[in-house]
């Protein structure tokens, strides 16, 4: 310590020595942290938790992926083995689309357990995605679930707090702060030095987690679906978000430590903030947005669609809209009877009905999704004070396990459903004869209709959706940093 002190004194004398002062402070802090048994325990525990999260995560992602691949193959087999049948009956039989889990769900499984993973693509209607995994889990899963995101979002801030809470108040209590300031060290240099040391330790603890994810990605990612470069880009942005999140905590800890009269007060204040940020505010905001921006119930949602669908004719040939459509088609082809049409009228009417339905489904599902987004925006709004509200959606978003990612999948599945409908209706239009209910299509048609293949969105797509949250995180980091600067400006040595 004494050599460090003289080192600092020597450096402070020169104008160019400021960086060396900062460096000396940082080195001393690192040494101090390294020798602190409490920190070693905490770091070991955190790293162990990260390791467990990674191992269980890899296990879960792989299992889910195996199940999905097997299911997709099985479904394809069922589809192609349908035999000869009416194309529209095949459309009713439909296909299933299974959602692939994003490889970065390893880092943050996000909402994956709380949304469905399979959707039935059948004629006439857009189904909701079914099978929420959370329904199968024991109640305890709602208390706390192990994931890297949990460790990074809830445990790592604690590490930052432990590293920073006594940074200034502890020096004051030991009397070393007087010593330091009497040497002519600027408080701001002390802040920068300590800050660098803490952030350095935090980054060093983040590294194994991110390297672990990276290795898992290289080993296990299905590269036919996910591009590795894209995953790496996502990972880099993810790391940036967490550095901002944790850097803000480090700055806040330093600020509170400089403000507080005793280390104990500093610790209590920081722990209270941690608790509010990680546990109270997320639930509070959830309830606030749920109550102020309510969603429709499933029944209301279905009824609204049914109401709109009543305006379309479906299979009802006495529906006024059906009659109007028939007259229009007859006029277009300049014939008087549907039997005289050069194309199959049943196929035409199915296609027309489908297309009317698409507009209705797009509107309703779009409105519902917009309602989710509105809730999510408001929930994240206080994120610059309580950064968990911003890092949570940001992390899920870049990991591809958020509501937006889910919607991307449902849109893609719906597009595929529509492609199936169009192909079977076109087949009917071209090859069917009016009034002949015996027309059947064969396996070659089923084989021509491709299996659902999902292209997950690119990193920039996820990032652009999370731009606001990233800005909020930057604001949090800046605010905490400025607070720390303000706090050390009025630092009392005794």
Helix (H) or strand (E) holding 121, with range, is strand 118-121
| Separation in Å, CA 109 to CA 393, 443, 465 | 11, 39, 18
CB of 130 to another protein, least distance (A): 5
CA–CA gap between residue 220 and residue 386 (Å, rounded):
35
CA–CA gap between residue 257 and residue 267 (Å, rounded):
8
Binding to another protein, residues 88-127 (CB under 8 A): 93, 96, 98, 110-111, 113-118, 120
Stretch that binds another protein, among 396-404, 427-435, 459-467, 480-488 (CB under 8 A): 396-404
* Residue length of the chain: 494
Pattern of binders to another protein over 463-482, x per CB under 8 A? Answer: --------------------
CA–CA gap between residue 366 and residue 484 (Å, rounded):
44
Binding of another protein by 268 (CB under 8 A): yes
Helix (H) or strand (E) holding 119, with range, is strand 118-121
Binding of another protein by 83 (CB under 8 A): yes
Cβ–Cβ under 8 Å, residues 96 and 121? yes
Binding of another protein by 5 (CB under 8 A): no
Q: What are the start-end ranges of the E strands in 31-74?
A: none
Burial class (CB in 10 A: 0-12, 13-18, 19+), 426: middle
| Nearer Cβ to another protein (53/250) | 53
Candidates 336, 342, 438, 494; binder of another protein (CB under 8 A) is 438
Binding of another protein by 292 (CB under 8 A): no
Cβ–Cβ under 8 Å, residues 136 and 122? no
Q: Give Cβ neighbours of residue 296 (< 8 Å, ≥ 6 apart).
A: 304, 368, 371
CB of 288 to another protein, least distance (A): 9
Helix (H) or strand (E) holding 120, with range, is strand 118-121
Candidates 68, 124, 186, 319; binder of another protein (CB under 8 A) is 68
Candidates 298, 334, 336, 494; binder of another protein (CB under 8 A) is 298
Pattern of binders to another protein over 300-339, x per CB under 8 A? Answer: xx-x------------------------------------
Binding of another protein by 284 (CB under 8 A): yes
Binding of another protein by 75 (CB under 8 A): yes
Candidates 2, 140, 292, 318; binder of another protein (CB under 8 A) is 140
| Nearer Cβ to another protein (6/286) | 286
| Nearer Cβ to another protein (32/355) | 32
Cβ–Cβ under 8 Å, residues 442 and 431? no
Candidates 141, 215, 228, 335; binder of another protein (CB under 8 A) is 141
Cβ–Cβ under 8 Å, residues 210 and 239? yes
| Nearer Cβ to another protein (111/341) | 111
| Separation in Å, CA 172 to CA 228, 480, 491, 492 | 50, 22, 10, 8
Q: What are the start-end ranges of the E strands in 14-133?
A: 95-98, 118-121
Binding to another protein, residues 160-179 (CB under 8 A): none
Pattern of binders to another protein over 16-45, x per CB under 8 A? Answer: ----------------------x-------
Binding of another protein by 447 (CB under 8 A): no
Q: Is 301 helix (H, G, I), strand (E, B) or coil?
A: helix
Binding to another protein, residues 406-435 (CB under 8 A): 406
CB of 332 to another protein, least distance (A): 29
Q: Is 66 helix (H, G, I), strand (E, B) or coil?
A: helix
226 φ, ψ to 5°? -110, 130
Other CB atoms within 10 Å distance of the CB of residue 126:
21
Candidates 87, 187, 248, 393; binder of another protein (CB under 8 A) is 393
Binding to another protein, residues 172-231 (CB under 8 A): none
- Per-position b or e across 295-310, b if 16+ CB within 10 A of its CB: eeeeeebeebbeebbe
CA–CA gap between residue 19 and residue 69 (Å, rounded):
56
Query: How many residues belong to the site for another protein (CB under 8 A)?
Result: 89
**Distance from first CA to last CA of the chain, Å, rounded?**
20
| Nearer Cβ to another protein (22/106) | 106
| Nearer Cβ to another protein (229/435) | 435
| Nearer Cβ to another protein (293/385) | 293
CB of 328 to another protein, least distance (A): 26
Candidates 51, 333, 372, 461; binder of another protein (CB under 8 A) is 372
Binding to another protein, residues 142-161 (CB under 8 A): 142-146, 150, 154-155, 158
| Nearer Cβ to another protein (117/257) | 117
């Amino acid at each position: 310590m004494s050599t460090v002190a003289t080192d600092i004194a020597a450096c402070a004398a020169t104008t160019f020595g400021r960086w060396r002062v900062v460096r000396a402070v940082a080195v001393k802090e690192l040494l101090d942290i390294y020798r602190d048994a409490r920190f070693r325990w905490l770091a070991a525990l955190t790293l162990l938790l990260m390791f467990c999260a990674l191992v269980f995560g890899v296990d879960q992602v792989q299992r889910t992926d195996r199940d999905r691949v097997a299911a997709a193959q099985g479904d394809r087999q069922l589809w192609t083995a349908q035999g000869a049948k009416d194309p529209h009956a095949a459309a009713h039989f439909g296909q299933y689309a299974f959602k692939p889990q994003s490889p970065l769900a390893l880092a943050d499984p996000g909402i994956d357990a709380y949304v469905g993973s399979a959707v039935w693509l059948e004629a006439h209607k857009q189904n909701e995605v079914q099978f929420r995994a959370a329904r199968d889990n024991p109640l305890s899963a709602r208390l706390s679930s192990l994931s890297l995101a949990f460790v990074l979002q809830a445990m790592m801030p604690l590490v930052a707090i432990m590293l920073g809470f006594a940074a200034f108040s502890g020096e004051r209590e030991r009397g070393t702060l007087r010593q330091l300031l009497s040497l002519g060290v600027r408080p701001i240099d002390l802040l920068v030095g300590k800050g660098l040391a803490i952030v350095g330790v935090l980054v060093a603890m983040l590294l194994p987690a991110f390297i672990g994810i990276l290795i898992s990605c290289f080993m296990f990612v299905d590269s036919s679906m996910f591009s590795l470069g894209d995953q790496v880009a996502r990972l880099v942005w993810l790391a940036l978000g967490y550095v901002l999140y944790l850097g803000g905590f480090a700055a806040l800890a330093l600020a509170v430590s400089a403000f507080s009269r005793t280390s104990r007060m500093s610790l209590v204040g920081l722990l209270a903030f941690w608790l509010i940020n990680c546990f109270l505010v997320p639930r509070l905001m959830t309830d606030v947005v749920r109550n102020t921006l309510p969603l429709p119930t499933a029944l209301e949602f279905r009824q609204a669609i049914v109401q709109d669908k009543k305006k379309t004719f479906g299979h009802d040939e006495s529906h006024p809209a059906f009659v109007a459509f028939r007259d229009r088609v007859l006029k277009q082809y300049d014939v008087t009877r549907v039997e005289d049409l050069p194309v199959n009228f049943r196929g035409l009417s199915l296609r027309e009905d489908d297309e009317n339905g698409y507009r209705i489904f797009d509107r309703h599902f779009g409105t519902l999704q917009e309602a989710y987004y509105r809730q999510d925006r408001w929930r994240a709004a206080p994120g610059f004070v309580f950064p968990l509200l911003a890092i949570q959606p940001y992390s899920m978003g870049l990991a591809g396990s958020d509501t937006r990612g889910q919607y991307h999948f449902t849109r893609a599945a719906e597009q595929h459903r529509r492609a199936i409908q169009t192909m079977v209706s076109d087949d009917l239009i071209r090859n069917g004869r009016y009034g002949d209910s015996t027309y059947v299509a064969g396996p070659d048609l089923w084989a021509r209709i491709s299996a659902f293949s999902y292209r997950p969105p690119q990193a920039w797509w996820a990032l652009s959706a999370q731009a606001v949250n990233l800005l909020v995180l930057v604001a949090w980091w800046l605010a905490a940093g400025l607070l720390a600067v303000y706090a050390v400006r009025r630092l009392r040595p005794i």
